[in-house]
Amino acid sequence: MFPRFRGAVLCMTNIQETNTMQSKKTLQASLLAILIGTASGALMPAAAQAQNVIAQMQNALKRQSAEALAAAQRDFAQFATAQQQMRGSGAPVDFPLDITDLQDLKQAVVSYGFPVHTVDPNEMLAGRSSMQGMAKPTAQWRFVITLHDRPIGMATVERSNGRYETVEYGASVLSKDVDAMAGFHGNADKSNLRFVRVYQARSDFLEVMGQDGRARFAPLHSARESLMLKQRASKAGKPDDGLLDEADFIQPLRSAVKLNMAAPR
């Protein structure tokens, strides 16, 4: 009797232990599912929040672009009218825009532009980040002015006391450089481009963001001259013609920044 009963008890005990183990596994699985669900619930709002932040930044940039462009167009219309009234017609002397007759101003238009970004010289010398990461927006925008689709100069627009105003006209050489690069490397709305000016090195770059998120740089006229970089811009060939990796110019750029910062003022 005892052996059977003992065997039955052992059997029941094994069944109970098995059930207990299964219950523990079920509980563990349930807890894991809850934890995963909770984590997912926490992550989803964070992801959505990040998307909202990006969308807000993009919308803010669009508003700033529209305001700056409207100011550039308004001021240029006033500038053109004033110049024609003061100087009449004929070839202008020492004029900031590349035109042959002041009457050309009637047909000239403010086209597209970019917010001006710059780099903190101390951060650059310390090498704390990449050019892409260090470049921060300033209060300025640069707009290309065209005459029959030909770049003739640029307008510098600056935000002061909550209002955009044009503070300078000129840079006819830079406008041609920018227009060639932007037309070749830019997407439809040129949103993959950033204008980067390193003041302490007297060097301008057009940052081009690839579809893979990788940034490459087109050294513009001032950078090619200041850093003695070989001009590689081209309107024909591969899409990356004229672009440099940061490693191709960062050392001469740092040297120029260091030299100019050390120069007596």
247 Cβ neighbours under 8 A, 6+ residues apart: none
How wide is the angle at C-alpha 217 spanned by C-alphas 227 and 241, nearest 5°? 100
pLDDT at 37: 52
- Report the C-alpha gap between 44 and 63 in whole angstroms: 28
Residue 131, φ and ψ in degrees, nearest 5: -60, -40
- Report the C-alpha gap between 141 and 157 in whole angstroms: 5
Mean pLDDT of the chain: 81
Q: What is the pTM of this model?
A: 0.74
Q: What percent of the chain has pLDDT over 70?
A: 74
